[in-house]
Amino acid sequence: MNISSSKAAFSEAQELIPGGVNSPVRAFSSVGGTPIFVEKGEGGYLVDIDGNRYIDYVQSWGPLIFGHTDEAIENAVIAAVKKGLSFGAPTLAETELAKLVVGLIDSIDKIRFVSSGTEAVMSAIRLARGYTGRDDIIKFEGNYHGHSDSLLVQAGSGMITFGAPSSPGVPADFTKHTLLAKYNDIESVKKCFKDSDDIACIIIEPIAGNMGLVPADKDFLAELRKLCDENGTLLIFDEVMSGFRATLRGAESIVGTKPDIITMGKVIGGGMPVGAFGARQEIMAQLSPEGPVYQAGTLSGNPVAMAAGLAAITKLKDKSILYGILEKRALRLLEGMKKAAEKNGFSLQTNVRGSMFGFFFNDKPVKNFEHACNSDAERFAAFHRGMLEEGCYFACSLYETGFISTATTDEMIEKTVTAAEKVMANI
Ligand code: KE4
């Protein structure tokens, strides 16, 4: 592929924007090579500024379940834009989208819209702390919940479960209330409850997409629910990525465990900046202006973003069969990639949940972050570069998740499998 314009664009961007990107993962740091600069999206394709076309398996990290330039979403946005971009006042669109989402997810009675997943999670944690009157929270190694300070933690020293900051600029004081546990390991969670009797909430990605795709075991989630009930702790499902990507009615509809609070994002905005968090009435009643827990946002519930989200969720609500169709395509893709890997003497661990898929160059199953870190990162990087050369745009980190959209046709899947057979023979 000739990507000379992207190379020049990346050099120029790096003069003005840290790392040349507005979100770190986009810089291709872990896979090498130059990030392609996108000119446009077209259905299931991305087109770069050199005119190269790629089958898009990133879809803006999840939002675009209908692919690029979906007509219904486009028309809804254009109609909304013509009435004004933002009012800072309530609009009917917010109530309509709230009605739609609350109607689809059993465990929530009310919802608050914000402008990103980070904001949704940050607000949900504050709500949990305000509702319980407690300060400590439990999160899991390998789960990512956006970049709010108390969630940028890594394992502390020794056996203590309290986290240490994972980024400079986060004071240790801001993470001293965050305990870390191991995904799919209930004993590590029980230890946290031994180390603190002040736990406001457990936050988990029930279908983790930020250590690669690693779904939580059903009985593990059931155990979490039990621990929360025994300790008066709230359970938060962070579904910013998995919401409306794995199923139509929330992870609870497939794992059988209900959370107390759900955070959402990505698909709920149809490609525009929307995050949200929801819970039953008695919890949401604590939120300002009804209750004392403060939370606010200039562009929260922005009418143009609401129009995009409304168009997307309206299209989804009558089509729960869609998830089975997209899952089949994901399984076909991974089966082809797995066969190609095995033909070349190495293993691929794969996971699929609805339109989400993940794969690890690893000969053992991946059930937590430690396992994911034992995957072959070099081989992943070589695979990513090779597939890009073949016109297939995969997530540029082994700790991310891939996505199938309604615009990802069977022909595209077959083309990708053929490309994988060629690339796997050379990595
Ligand atoms: P945003 O603030 O990026 O909208 O959402 C944060 C977030 C919260 N919770 C989960 C489960 C998430 O996956 C995310 C964001 N996901 C990443 C992809 N791994 C966004 C991509 C990026 O950081 O550029």
pLDDT in tens, 360-371: 999 999 999 999
35 lines ligand 1 (CB under 6 A): no
3-class SS of residue 226: helix
116 lines ligand 1 (CB under 6 A): yes
Question: What does the pLDDT read at residue 162?
Answer: 83
Instruction: Tell whether the model's pLDDT for residue 330 goes beyond 80.
Output: yes
43-55 per-position pLDDT tens digit? 999 999 999 999 9
CA 210/CA 38 separation, integer angstroms: 23
- Is 408 a member of any domain? no
Instruction: Tell whether the model's pLDDT for residue 158 goes beyond 70.
Output: no
Tell me how many degrees the CA angle 417-423-424 measures, rounded to the nearest 5.
85
Q: For residue 224, what pLDDT band results from cuts at 50, 70 and 90? A: very high
Instruction: Tell whether the model's pLDDT for residue 174 goes beyond 70.
Output: yes
- Is 325 a member of any domain? yes
Question: What does the pLDDT read at residue 182?
Answer: 96
> Which residue among 284, 318, 352 closes a domain?
318
Q: Are 375 and 398 in contact (CB under 8 A)?
A: yes
Question: What does the pLDDT read at residue 155?
Answer: 75
Domain that holds residue 421: 4-69+321-401+413-426
**Buried-state track 394-424, b at ≥16 Cβ within 10 A, e below 16:** bbbbbbbbbbbbbbbeeebbeebbebbbebb
> Which residue among 299, 318, 337 closes a domain?
318
> Which residue among 273, 297, 318 closes a domain?
318
Please state the domain count of the chain.
2
135 with 219, same domain: the answer is yes
Nearest by Cα to 225 from 256, 251, 247, 195: 256
- Is 54 a member of any domain? yes
The CATH number covering residue 364 comes to: 3.90.1150.10
79 with 201, same domain: the answer is yes
298 lines ligand 1 (CB under 6 A): no
pTM of the shown model? 0.98
Cα–Cα distance list, 229 to 204, 219, 226 (Å): 16, 15, 5
18 with 157, same domain: the answer is no
Question: What does the pLDDT read at residue 160?
Answer: 72
Whole-number percent of the chain with pLDDT over 90: 96
Question: What does the pLDDT read at residue 318?
Answer: 83
Half-sphere exposure of 339 (CA within 13 A, CB side): 11
Q: For residue 350, what pLDDT band results from cuts at 50, 70 and 90? A: very high
Q: For residue 163, what pLDDT band results from cuts at 50, 70 and 90? A: confident
Which residues are tagged catalytic? 144, 238, 266
CA 154/CA 149 separation, integer angstroms: 12
CA 209/CA 232 separation, integer angstroms: 28
pLDDT average, residue stretch 396-419: 98
- Is 407 a member of any domain? no
- Pocket mutation for ligand 1, best pick of 60, 123, 145, 274 (most atoms within 8 Å of C-beta): 145
Averaged pLDDT score across all residues of the chain: 97
What are φ and ψ of residue 363, in 5° steps? -95, 5
Q: Are 237 and 272 in contact (CB under 8 A)?
A: no
265 lines ligand 1 (CB under 6 A): yes
61 with 78, same domain: the answer is no
Q: Are 105 and 260 in contact (CB under 8 A)?
A: no
Instruction: Tell whether the model's pLDDT for residue 372 goes beyond 80.
Output: yes
119-129 per-position pLDDT tens digit? 999 999 999 99
61 with 164, same domain: the answer is no
Q: Which of 146-160, 248-262, 323-337 has the lowest mean pLDDT?
A: 146-160
Question: What does the pLDDT read at residue 235?
Answer: 99
* Rounded-to-5 percentages of helix, strand, coil across the chain: 40, 20, 40
Q: For residue 159, what pLDDT band results from cuts at 50, 70 and 90? A: low
108 with 79, same domain: the answer is yes
